[in-house]
A = this chain, B = another copy of it.
Amino acid sequence: MKAEIITIGDEILIGQIIDTNSAWMARELGEIGIQIIQISSIADRHSDILKAIELAETRAELILMTGGLGPTKDDITKKALADYFQSNWQVDEEALENVKNIFRRLSRPMIQVNLDQAKVPDNCLTIPNLKGTAPGMWFEKGNHIYISMPGVPHEMMAMIQNFIIPDLKRKRKFPAIFHQTLLTAGIGESFLAEKLSAVEENLPDHIRLAYLPKLSQVRLRLSGYGVNQEEIEKEVSHWSEKIIRLIGDYLVFKGDGTIAQAILLELEELGKTFALAESCTGGFISKEITAIPGSSKTYLGGLVPYSNSLKTKFLGVKESTLENFGAVSEETVVEMVQGLIHGFEVDFGLVSSGIAGPGGGSIAKPVGTVWLAWGSKNEIHTQKLSLGNDRIINIERASIMALYSFYTFLKNQVK
């Protein structure tokens, strides 16, 4: 099945927001065998919307639209679709109830434009919006399906996952597909590709391997397409095992997870707790950990000791250590992790101290110098990173490297 995505909204055309929706949709729909053949981003304009739909029809069977809904957009997409399908207007009771519930929960007064969200063309099916007020719309004409969704990412995502994909599966036949994701860290994309070249050359045509690199992590995705579900799963698993053997210790997670998730699983299995002290990463690692439901079972807490006095007061780092070696030093991070384990009464600790930039660098310790330490009461490990000049990237990269090192350490603990 071929599909085209039409994103509607001036904010994309003036470059104020980056269209991340399309890539997400392409991946989700790709999972069930839908191929995106074009993505068109157009203005919030009636005539442009109609023209884009007409052109998309000549290229694709499924047309997915996002954006141009809601009060401030003047519901331009809804009006264009109503014209296109010569609809009359009707109030969708379920959508109206949803709008009312949301305003009730927020204890906010409703105005007419909010109620108007529930008015929809009478010849479409509405798609419930679990995360917001504007319902989605599903039209059909001939062999074509036209779906309109809000542009707000989490609203769109909930519609695709809960309603659109299940409905498409009911209405059309798709090939048997199986995906296996493998998260790797600590190895660059080109080195990984070299390691895997022998396997890649032998992959049959109906099994594809994609590399999805992101700061210090590469996600591998094996996708198999076939007729029989059980067979394709077996075949993909066979190749994924071959790949896992070649990746070795760089494998962090088998499946669609994060390093933070892998760490929490290891800790649960070990029945141990941990804490963080993040100077240069400033809470980034804690944010990654606490994003995961149930993290409080093993993560007891963290400290962001931005000032040196907090390193001394709460982690017991000696003033003489700070004076003699500086806050960004192996000596300091070792004392930080010792003090953290002791003070936070945890089994393991992970700490960072570095110069994220753009200021604060020196010849001896340029911007991008980061010290990490992790361990237990019995053993402490350290690592020095020499990163680049971009503050945001340095923080993120140091966080991922710290998580990866900590994960490797946990994996080697006796269970």
Q: Known: A41-B38, A291-B395, A301-B303. Is A17-B23 also a contact (CB below 8 A)?
A: yes
Contact B305 A72 (CB under 8 A): no
Chain B residues positioned under 8 Å from A10 (CB to CB): 210
**Contacting pair B293 A283 (CB below 8 A):** no
Which of A25-33, A77-85, A90-98, A402-410 touches B? Answer: A25-33
- The yes or no answer to A89 lying at the interface (CB within 8 A) is no
Q: Least Cβ distance of A224 to chain B in Å?
A: 13
Chain B residues, CB < 8 A from A12: 22-23, 26, 39
A373-B212 Cα distance, complex, nearest whole Å = 41
A24–B12 Cα gap in the complex (Å)? 10
Which of A12, A19, A283, A300 has the largest count of B CB atoms less than 10 A from its CB?
A283
> What's the number of copies of this chain in the assembled complex?
2
Contact A299 B306 (CB under 8 A): yes
Given known pairs A14-B30, A37-B13, A391-B293, the reply for A286 and B301 (CB within 8 Å) is: no
Q: How far is the CA of A55 from the CA of B4 in the complex (A)?
A: 16
CB neighbours of A14 from chain B (8 A): 26-27, 30, 36, 210, 221, 223
Task: Answer whether residue A43 sits at the interface, using C-beta atoms and an 8 A cutoff.
Answer: yes
**A310 vs B27: C-alpha distance when bound (angstroms):** 42
* CB <8 Å contact, B306 and A17: no
Q: Count how many chain A residues have C-beta atoms less than 8 Å from C-beta atoms of the other chain.
A: 98
**A301–B305 contact, CB under 8 A?**
yes
Is the CB of A156 closer than 8 A to any CB of chain B? no
C-alpha gap A301/B286 in the complex (Å) = 14
- How many Å lie between the Cα of A42 and that of B18 in the bound state? 17
A27 and B39 in contact, given A189-B72, A190-B72, A359-B293 (Cβ under 8 angstroms): no
Q: How far apart are the CA atoms of A290 and B305 in the complex, in Å?
A: 11
Shortest C-beta distance, A86 to chain B (Å), equals: 26
Any chain B CB within 8 A of the CB of A287? yes
Q: Do A19 and B13 have beta carbons less than 8 Å apart? A: no
- Cβ of A28: which chain B residues have Cβ within 8 Å of it? 15
* Complex Cα gap A175–B289 (Å): 48
- The reply to whether A25 and B15 form a contact with Cβ atoms under 8 Å apart is yes
CB neighbours (8 Å) of A22 from chain B are 12, 15, 19, 41
Whether A72 lies near B193 (C-beta < 8 A) is yes
Q: How far, in angstroms, from A394 to B166 measured CA to CA in the complex?
A: 27
Name which residue of chain B comes closest to A52, CB basis: B38
Q: Is A393 an interface residue (CB 8 A)?
A: yes
Contacts of A17 in B (CB 8 A): 23, 212
Question: Does A128 sit within 8 A of B, measured CB to CB?
Answer: no
Q: A221 and B131: CB pair below 8 A?
A: no
- Chain B residues with CB under 8 Å of A289's CB are 282-283
Known A14-B27, A22-B41, A190-B72; judge A302-B314 contact (CB<8 A).
no
Residues of B within 8 A of A290 (CB): 281-284, 304, 306, 356, 395
Question: Which one of A18, A105, A154, A287 has the greatest number of beta carbons of chain B within 10 Å?
Answer: A287
Closest-by-CB residue of B relative to A36 is B13
Q: Are A13 and B41 in contact (CB under 8 A)?
A: no
A106 → B minimal CB distance (Å): 8
Which residues of A, 274-314, contact B by the 8 Å Cβ criterion?
Answer: 276, 278, 281-287, 289-291, 293-296, 299-307, 309-310, 313-314
A residues sitting closer than 8 Å to B (CB atoms) are: 10-20, 22-28, 30, 35-43, 48, 55, 70-72, 105-108, 111, 113-114, 131, 152, 154, 188-190, 193-194, 210-213, 219, 221, 223, 276, 278, 281-287, 289-291, 293-296, 299-307, 309-310, 313-314, 343-345, 356-359, 386, 388, 390-393, 395
- Other A-B pairs beyond A19-B23, A71-B193, 8, CB < 8 Å: A14-B223, A16-B210, A37-B43, A39-B40, A293-B357, A293-B359, A295-B306, A301-B306
